[in-house]
Every structure is written in structure tokens, then in C-alpha cells.
Structure 1
């Protein structure tokens, strides 16, 4: 068993974001296998760059509205309490709606994301 207290969590800036976001890793020691759990706080319309994951990802929106898009052209707005499932290898981005802050919980497995180029304004226009 591993028990993580609030005081054990580490907050870091996410450099693969257009705007400002902070990542709070809760379970992160198993970098290449196992489950990772984090809370990500996006400031005022900030969004991630394009990326994919070698394993699955689940996003659970806690506060604000989350905008999400993928290379297939699917774009959605998720509200608090909504969850988004992203299968392995799906190239996507996510972040806060313009003019809002947003927080989501991210659950991933297998390993770190593969970061790509920033999302253009046209691609992020939901």
C-alpha cells in the first residue's frame, strides 16, 4: 500500500501548455508502468499542446469547463462531473475554456505522454 498525504504532493508548472497550468502529482513514482494520478489546474483559457499517451487516459472535470479536441476533429466542452476517456495513441489536447480557470483529475497508465506541437487558434476554436 502507498498512502499520500496532501503535504507529500508536489506542484509543478507544465511547460507543454499554451498559457499557464500547474500539475499536482499525487501518484507518479511508477513512470513506465502502473497508474499515475494528478490534478491539473489550467488558468484562463490555457490548453495543452498536442500529445498522446502510450496507455489510456481518463480526465475527470472538477471545476470550470474543459475543452477537448483530437486529430479526428472531435471537439467537446466538458462540465464539472463529466469524464473523458482517451484511448492509447489518440492525439489530443485539453484545457480551460477561454475566460475561465479549470481543474481536472488525470488518470493515466503505462508511461509518459508524447508531446507534440502547440495547438493553433483555429484548432482550439470550439
Structure 2
């Protein structure tokens, strides 16, 4: 058994996020047999990720506020506290806080065999894509 040390809150980089987004790491792999990562991520109103995908998929569990999630086919879903979303391996998507409200979610994913390919980042989400006007 081991008590894991707390890790500091960090602000996510502007190359991958628009607006203010903070991450609190909760768990990270400790050795070669462990793959799971878990973080609490907090988004200021209207803040969002860039387009990205995960090699092994991702679970996102909303703990506060209203979340918006979008896919390349133009689908946008809104989730509320208590809702969980799964994005399958390789699916390009984005996540965000709805306008006018903070949002917090837990993000759970597994590292890829090559950790550098766990998350593949792409371009920023446009305002039209965020609002649901671009398909």
C-alpha cells in the first residue's frame, strides 16, 4: 500500500487549450505495468480543448457545471454533473465548458504502448465548431 503525494495544480498550455483550464493530477503510472492516469480538470466559462484523440480512448466524468463535447462529424452533446462520456480509441473530439459556467470533470485514460502517442493533438476548435455551426 502507498499514499501517493499530492501534485500541484498546473494551467494547461495554450497550444492545446483555449481559455483558462487547470489540471490536478490524481494518479499517474508508477511503473511499467501501470497505464492508468486520472486528473481533475477545471474549465473557465467557454474554455475548451483543441481537437485531439487518445490511443486507448478516454472516460470523462462531469463533476460540476455544464460540459460540451464535440466530434468531427459535428455532433455536440451537453453533459451535467454526474454524467460520464466515453470517447473510443482514435476518435477526434474536444471538450469544453458551456458559455457562462465553470465546468469540472475527471479524465481517465490509459497510456499507449508509446506514451508519446497517448494523446494526439490537432488544431484549435473554431468558435463555429464550438457553437455547433460548422459541420
1:103 and 1:56 map into 2 onto residues whose CA distance is 19
The ranges of structure 1 where at least 4 consecutive aligned residues each deviate by more than 6 angstroms after the TM superposition are none
What residue in structure 2 maps to residue 23 of structure 1?
A: 23
Q: Which moved more, 1:106-115 or 1:88-97?
A: 106-115
CA contact (8 A) 2:29 2:36 kept: no
Higher strand fraction: Structure 1 or Structure 2?
A: 1
Query: How many pairs are equivalent?
Result: 124
What residue in structure 2 maps to residue 96 of structure 1?
A: 97
Q: How many Å apart are 1:4 and its aligned residue?
A: 2.6
- Give me the TM-score of the superposition, normalised by structure 2: 0.85
CA contact (8 A) 1:54 1:88 kept: yes
Structure 2 unmatched runs, 5+: 113-117
Structure 1 residue 82 corresponds to structure 2 residue 83: yes
Structure 1 unmatched runs, 5+: none
- Give me the TM-score of the superposition, normalised by structure 1: 0.90
CA contact (8 A) 1:30 1:36 kept: no
